């Protein structure tokens, strides 16, 4: 079985590592040669970490990478059984990618999106066979997190859902069936949590460290909400909040002013070296 993945960022590379590690052939599509090179570096780093933990061997890493194809040409998706769109959380960008995928794949190919907030039904309406379109929402880091949200659009067929379910379970994931609703389950909960934590910081009720400590030691969360927002990407958090707010007409998801300010300044969290905290800037 061959899996296509479109997107070379954090989610695209993480999904690719997860899929390769479970014996699938992968064709990874990126828009620029530099993006593909950076993605390959991320994959090498991810597999090297797995080797250091004793999860895989060097021979397994070599085998996994041998099953990877990388291209900037959508035509190379032509023999994929399932294609996952994993580009930036921007509706217009995703629409363009999904249309490009549809033009190149066979009629039997399942097309999935990794969106965390955009309506599956709206995206499915772009293609001629919306019954073969659905959401498979992986969590970051995709190679580690055990759960996926399987999201059915209004016209998604049972066959497409079953094929996607089998695929996700073969990756070792726990599958949660979710109705097509703004933010699904995960981000409807998480973005309110993050946004309210930012409001608390804005109001001077506690320091960022204090807020994160309460979540970690009081709720037994591995990361505090502000640390987590930096890890996700503040720009991504803002985009998700705005998408849920717009689709659900829910003002609770209006991004906090401090979040808007940080994003406007280009301080998007760990990936840029600064967000609520400061980090060594990623390549």
In this structure, what DSSP letter does residue 150 have? E
Q: Using CA atoms of 89, 131, 148, 237 in order, give the dihedral in degrees to the nearest 10.
A: 20
Looking at 85, 89, 102, 149, which residue is catalytic?
149
Secondary element (H or E) of residue 92: helix 91-104
Indicate the pLDDT class of residue 282, thresholds 50, 70 and 90: low
Q: Is 137 a catalytic residue?
A: yes
As a three-state string, the secondary structure of 20-83 is HCCCCEEEEECCCHHHHHHHHHHHHHHHHHHHHHCCCCHHHHHHHHHCEEEECCHHHHCCCCEE
Lowest mean pLDDT among 31-35, 129-133, 257-261: 31-35
Q: Is 179 exposed, middle or buried (0-12, 13-18, 19+ CB in 10 A)?
A: exposed
Phi and psi at 147, nearest 5°, equal -100, 145
CATH architecture type of domain 186-271: Orthogonal Bundle (1.10)
Q: Is the pTM of this model over 0.85?
A: yes
pLDDT for 89: 87
pLDDT for 90: 87
Domain spans of the chain, in order of start: 2-179, 186-271
Angle at 95 between CA 148 and CA 69, to 5 degrees: 65
In terms of pLDDT, which residue wins out, 34 or 19?
A: 19
Mean pLDDT of the chain: 95
- Positive or negative, the Cα torsion across 94, 95, 100, 102? positive
pLDDT for 169: 97
d(CA 9, CA 205): 35
Share of the chain above pLDDT 70, in %: 99
Question: 283 pLDDT exceeds 70?
Answer: no
Q: Which of 140, 152, 144, 153 is nearest to 173 (CA)?
A: 144
Secondary element (H or E) of residue 11: helix 10-20
CATH architecture type of domain 2-179: 3-Layer(aba) Sandwich (3.40)
Looking at 89, 119, 137, 268, which residue is catalytic?
137
d(CA 175, CA 136): 9
Looking at 187, 195, 197, 268, which residue is catalytic?
187
How large is the C-alpha radius of gyration of the chain? 19
Q: Is 149 a catalytic residue?
A: yes
Same fold for the pair 2-179 and 186-271: no
Q: Is 116 a catalytic residue?
A: yes
pLDDT tens, 115-138? 988 999 999 999 999 999 999 999
Which distant-in-sequence residues (6+ apart) come within 8 Å of 238 by Cβ?
255, 259, 260, 263
d(CA 233, CA 240): 11
Contact between residue 222 and residue 165 where contact means Cβ atoms under 8 Å apart: no
d(CA 147, CA 139): 7
pLDDT for 33: 85
In Å, how far are 136, 157, 163, 261, 264 from 276, measured between CA atoms?
Answer: 30, 43, 41, 11, 14
pLDDT tens, 69-105? 999 999 999 999 999 999 988 889 999 999 999 999 9
Question: 280 pLDDT exceeds 90?
Answer: no
Averaged pLDDT, 247-273: 96
pLDDT tens, 177-214? 999 999 999 999 999 999 999 999 999 999 999 999 99
Q: Is 33 a catalytic residue?
A: no
């Amino acid at each position: 079985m061959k899996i296509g993945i479109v997107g070379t960022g954090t989610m695209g590379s993480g999904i690719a590592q997860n899929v390769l590690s479970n014996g699938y052939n992968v064709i990874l599509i990126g828009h620029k040669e530099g993006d593909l090179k950076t993605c390959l570096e991320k994959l090498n780093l991810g597999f090297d970490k797995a080797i250091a933990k004793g999860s895989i061997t060097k021979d397994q890493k070599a085998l996994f990478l041998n099953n990877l194809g990388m291209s900037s040409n959508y035509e190379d998706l032509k023999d994929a059984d399932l294609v996952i769109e994993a580009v930036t959380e921007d509706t217009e960008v995703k629409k363009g990618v999904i249309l490009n995928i549809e033009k190149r794949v066979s009629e039997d190919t399942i097309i999935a999106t990794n969106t965390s907030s955009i309506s599956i039904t709206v995206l499915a309406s772009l293609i001629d066979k919306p019954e073969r379109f659905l959401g498979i929402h992986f969590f970051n880091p995709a190679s580690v997190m055990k759960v996926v949200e399987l999201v059915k659009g209004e016209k998604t067929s049972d066959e497409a859902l079953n094929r996607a379910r089998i695929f996700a379970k073969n990756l070792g994931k726990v599958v949660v069936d979710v109705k097509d609703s703004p933010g699904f389950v995960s981000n409807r909960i998480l973005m309110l949590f993050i946004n309210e934590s930012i409001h608390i910081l804005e109001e001077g009720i506690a320091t960022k460290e204090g807020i994160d400590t309460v979540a970690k030691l009081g709720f037994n969360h591995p990361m505090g909400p502000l640390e987590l927002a930096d890890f996700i990407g503040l720009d991504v958090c803002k985009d998700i909040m705005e998408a849920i707010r717009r689709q659900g007409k829910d003002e609770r998801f209006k991004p906090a002013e401090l979040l808007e300010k940080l994003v406007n300044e280009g301080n998007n969290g760990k990936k840029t070296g600064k967000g609520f905290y400061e980090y060594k800037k990623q390549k």
